[in-house]
Amino acid sequence: MPLIWLLAAILALALVGYVLGRVRAKAQAKGDIRDLHSLPVYYGTNAALATMVPALLLIVVWLLVQPLIINGQVLSMIPESAIPEGGSLGLVMSDVRRVADGLDIAVEQGAMTVEQAASIRTEFTDVRERLGAVGVALGSNVEPEVLLAAQRYRVLSATGNLMMTIAALLLAVGGFLLALRMTHRDFRARNVVERAVLMLLIGAASIAILTTIGILFSLIFNTVEFFRLYPAAEFFFGSTWAPSFSGRGGGSELGVLPLLWGTLYISIVALAVAVPIGLFAAIYLSEYAPPVVRSVAKPLIEVLAGIPTIVYGLFALLTVGPLLVEVFGEGGFLGVGWMQGGTAVMTAGLVMGIMLIPFVSSLSDDIINAVPQAMRDGSLGLGATPSETIRQVVLPAALPGIVGAILLAASRAIGETMIVVLGAGAAARLSLNPFEAMTTVTAKIVSQLTGDSDFASPEALVAFALGITLFVITLGLNVLALYIVRKYREQYE
């Protein structure tokens, strides 16, 4: 039975369980549902859950475990001799699976009978041609061992699936009957359903956390792999970034310092733009702007946050860069000739700063608004002007939150990629001139992984080391921001 029908059957049974559970509970109550511990709907839900949840869990676990067991069994059938020169057992196994899938498809399309699929031998049939006819392309001729293994694989899978279907259905029926038996006047169905809801919520929360941990581990494993191929000291303290793309690796210099410097420099320029503008905008909006202006201007500023970063990148490349060259470039407006091309730290920094304005302003605005009106009244009541009140009372009270907002903006700036790729150029260099092209960690991760270099070479694996470096930096910033915000939040009631 295909999986979808099995699932449909279980769901249908759960639905029946829901209806019957309700009916049974109502029958127990003899018309007065106040006699029941819970509302009838809870008895129904309980029956549906008891039918569905164990069976579905079994299916999930089974689907995860079955391939492992079958692989183990089939693996022993493949002799050393079947492994081609330079290949590996894994490659043969994937061939086995392909042939097995191909046989399945052939049977499904009627090109073979079930018996044929189970009994064909390479000695008598050209399996590759037969499978090719039904649209399954195989790379090489099928070895007899592989075909046998594939047939064995099919048999085991079929038995496994049959057993799973039976077990899941039995479990579903069992849960169904048990739940109906338990449906009694005093049974606390409501509490059981509440527990199920709790489990669902815990599950959702743990998926979020486990994914983070999973991402972290995949980064760590690949980074460890990288450091096996490339010395860590040279990565962290090397001042040259010059990966070779000769393919075989070697001769690459993968020092992270120029990238970190570029990241830092561009972020600083971005924050130098975003923090004053964002903060002043927030102060105007929260303290001075009449409600009409505020109701229009705040959403307008927040629109900036909705612009895709690639659009900002285009803006940097096509508008800001050329504009800056006209001012600071050779023969430009100022006649200083600091800038050679449109892509520079300044270009990317300015545009990124514009992107960050809504972050800073929106968060700061909320924080400034959260300062109690009593503080402002107290200050104004002493004869302070609005600006004195803001400088001496409101901003100090809001400062921790504002620092938190700035740190969040900073971690966003450090992680930004598209604007840098388009606005800052690709040259990794250590320089103080903000009008020179530089590049950042994120931009280099992209360029290291989008080439056609071998995934096991240090040139590709370095991306993971860069990723984890970045992750640690932004994580540190976020933790610091949360710590600051939390530490000072309680102080002003």
Least spacing, CB of residue 351 vs another protein, in Å: 37
Choose the binding region for another protein from 6-14, 329-337, 378-386, 470-478 (rule: CB under 8 A).
Answer: 378-386
Nearer to another protein by C-beta: 365 or 459?
A: 365
**Closest separation in Å from C-beta 379 to another protein:** 7
384 near another protein (CB under 8 A): yes
What part of residues 275-294 is at the interface with another protein (CB under 8 A)? 290-291
The answer to whether 235 touches 257, Cβ cutoff 8 Å, is no
Q: Which of 16, 29, 178, 380 binds another protein (CB under 8 A)?
A: 380
Q: Does 298 bind another protein (CB under 8 A)?
A: no
Q: C-beta of 482: minimal distance to another protein in Å? A: 20
Q: Candidates 13-21, 127-135, 379-387, 431-439: pick the segment binding another protein (CB under 8 A).
A: 379-387
Q: Find where tokens 């490339």 sit.
A: 230
CA separation for the pair 162, 152 (Å, rounded): 15
Q: Which residues contact 82 (CB under 8 A, 6 or more apart)?
A: 92, 143, 145, 146
374 binds another protein (CB under 8 A): yes
Query: Interface with another protein includes 385 (CB under 8 A)?
Result: yes
Which token pair is 441? 């960690």
Does 375 bind another protein (CB under 8 A)? Our answer is yes
126 binds another protein (CB under 8 A): no
Beta strand pairing call for 241-242 and 253-254: antiparallel
Binding to another protein by residue 326, rule CB under 8 A?
no
The one among 130, 298, 376, 444 contacting another protein by CB under 8 A: 376
Q: Of the candidates 119, 159, 211, 392, which one interacts with another protein according to CB under 8 A?
A: 392
Nearer to another protein, 15 or 375 (CB): 375
Q: Write down the least CB distance from residue 493 to another protein, Å.
A: 8
Nearest of 59, 56, 48 to residue 21 by alpha carbon: 48
Which residue, 2 or 291, has its beta carbon nearer to another protein?
291
CB 383, min distance to another protein, A:
3
Which residue stretch of 198-206, 255-263, 303-311, 369-377 sits at the interface with another protein (rule: CB under 8 A)?
Answer: 369-377
Candidate residues 377, 451, 456, 483; the one interacting with another protein per rule CB under 8 A: 377
Please report, as residue ranges, which positions from 394 to 413 form the binding site for another protein (by CB under 8 A).
Answer: 396-397
Return left, alpha or beta for 290; rule: phi > 0 is left, psi -120 to 50 is alpha, else beta: beta
Residue numbers of the site for another protein (CB under 8 A)? 290-291, 372, 374-385, 388, 392-393, 396-397, 491-493
